[in-house]
Chains A and B, each alone.
Chain A
Amino acid sequence: MPFRDFVDLNNSRIETALRLEQPDQVPIQVYTAGDYLSRFIGVKPVEYYRDAKIMLAAQMAFRRRFYGLGCLGPDYSVVIEPSAFGASVIWREMEPPFPKPLLSNLEDVEKLEVPDPYSAGLIPALISTYRYMVEKVGERYVDPLTGALGPFDIAVLLRGTSQFLIDIAMKRDLVHKLLEKTTKFCEEFIKAREAISEVEWTTVYLGDDYPAFLSPNDFREFYIPYARSIFDKYKKKGRLCLWHCDGKFSERTLALIPELGIDGFLWPCPDIDLSVYKKSFGKKMALMGNLHSHLLMRSTPAEVDAAVKDQIKKGAPGGGYVFSLGGEVIHGTPPDNIETMIRAVEKYGKYPVSP
């Protein structure tokens, strides 16, 4: 099948699955980022992250090698949103950039301003990279900026992971103040991204890894209201609301996920078996996952083939399922294993699929 036809067909299957329906074949999504892609074309990660031309070249190289799969769009790891608040960015030669925590005292949240969603920090770099990519490959093939870091993870990055979790136990009122500001920014930044996007959005996506570590009560108090305030606005517009969280949930907190009102749960923690997610919410939301990235990196092609078959048997029955890794392709993954994974999805993913 010609390259672009496969991409279009796979994308339409993904849309079907995200609507909780059953396509003719299990679609596949391969999440890629700079850590892997830079090495894929033999450059240092810092060159990838700091040069839109190299970023695009690496993403296109992966797509050319793997049937149009892989991400294509501005990729700045997790630094855009914190940089907008004023966090400085540590650019490292061999790792993705990382923001330096901004709030050494949580009390300083009172002085924190909600940034401008078009011009603050590295947002202009994101916009110009998006426009450059659209100009080079066409808007149809560039990820349309629907994804954003969620309000909780922005707060975590502004404060530092451990410190923010300690704050939740010790300084609850101030944590709410910080989350109010990050949520407000998230809402405005998503609006700005939608305005900039050259393609009409059918989905909206938030990624928040750290709420998984909360108790059920704290998840209800510190996460659901903030995430819902964003999702609810887009639900009203008829968009599919997609959410990513790969932290390892406790059973009791995991049970609260449907309260977020989401339509799809993407790349959940691969340490929890896909059958658990399917049984818990397979009828309420689409699932995208969940082959462990480390398994893909370390296994033989035969083991990869068997693991893909197993995932499909667990996730695919009844539809509402997109095969993917439980995260991004990680450094050191043999290209042969990626090839095997893609072919195995094609081989085992023809509907009907029974458990």
Chain B
Amino acid sequence: MASNEKQLLHDLSESIVNLDADRLRRSVETAISSGISAYDALMNGVAKGMDAIGKMYENGDCFLPELLAAGDLMKTGLQILEPHLKAEKAEMSGRVIIGTVQGDLHDLGKNIVIAVLRSAGFEVYDLGVDVASDRFVEKVREERGDILAMSSLLTTTCPYMRQVIAALTKTGIRKTAKVVIGGLPVTEDFAREIGADAYGKDAFDGLAKIKAFMKTRRIGIQASEARK
């Protein structure tokens, strides 16, 4: 890697770590105009910075405001890079459709998960809060989502997750999309009981499980391609 390219990627990463929105915009534009691929700018620049913030958060060296602000900045970076990524037909880590279930207006946990997923190179479609089952199903189908992630903070709203899974099953896309759930009242037992594929006890645990699903999926795809 040329030293200029290395410096540009470093700038991208640093602009996230230092929560510097102006520097991020400048660095993304410079990187693209210098011929760095959008995929490289994302994975070896922006996402690397986000990953560093995620590790600092896990170690207690930074806190929720910084983690969420970095996630928000990364979203800005992604918006600039998106048309270039499409043009490059870049292959991301996977597609995740995420939302807080119907009846529930809490978004903090969901937003932490989004920040962590983006740092790992996932394409995340955030449906927001109070999301009805048909919206989840529609988006999974539309984006050909690999993962459906649902969050809930209330004991009264988490049973709705069962309804979403039933709707996914009914439409036949349950076979292709894994379901991961999380939130304060959610437990491993509850996840099993409603037929989810995994429970994430926090954002990092959720990420580990989603990564494991994607790894299995890739192995499966490779195996079936090899058979052809």
Contact = CB atoms under 8 A, between A and B. Distances in A.
B106 A161 contact: yes
Band of interface residues on A: 20 to 34
Contacts, number: 64
A169 B107 contact: no
B94 interface: no
B63 A162 contact: no
A255 B170 CA distance: 51
A215 B105 contact: no
Nearest to B159: A332
Nearest to B115: A162
A351 to B, nearest CB: 34
B69 A250 contact: no
Contact of B65 (A92, A218, A332): A218
B21 to A, nearest CB: 8
Nearest to A215: B63
A166 B63 contact: no
Contacts of A98: 105
B123 interface: no
Contacts of A169: 19, 65-66, 68-69
Nearest to B184: A294
Interface in B109-165: 111, 154-157
B63 A170 contact: no
A162 B111 contact: yes
Interface residues of B, number: 24
B187 to A, nearest CB: 8
Interface string B43-87: 000000000000000001011111011001000000000000000
A94 B103 contact: yes
Contacts of B111: 162
A247 to B, nearest CB: 9
Interface string A110-146: 0000000000000000000000000000000000000
B103 A92 contact: yes
Given A170-B19, A294-B185, A331 B63 contact: no
Nearest to B72: A166
B36 interface: no
A3 interface: no
B108 interface: yes
Contacts of B72: 166
Interface of A: 35, 90, 92, 94-95, 98, 160-162, 165-166, 168-170, 213-215, 218, 250-252, 294, 297, 330-332
Given A162-B107, A166-B69, A169-B66, 14 more contacts: A35-B156, A94-B103, A94-B156, A95-B103, A98-B105, A162-B68, A169-B19, A213-B64, A215-B62, A215-B63, A215-B66, A218-B65, A250-B63, A331-B155
8 nearest interchain CB pairs? A169-B69, A213-B64, A169-B65, A168-B65, A215-B63, A162-B111, A165-B65, A166-B69
9 contacts: A35-B156, A162-B107, A162-B108, A165-B69, A166-B68, A169-B69, A170-B19, A170-B69, A294-B185
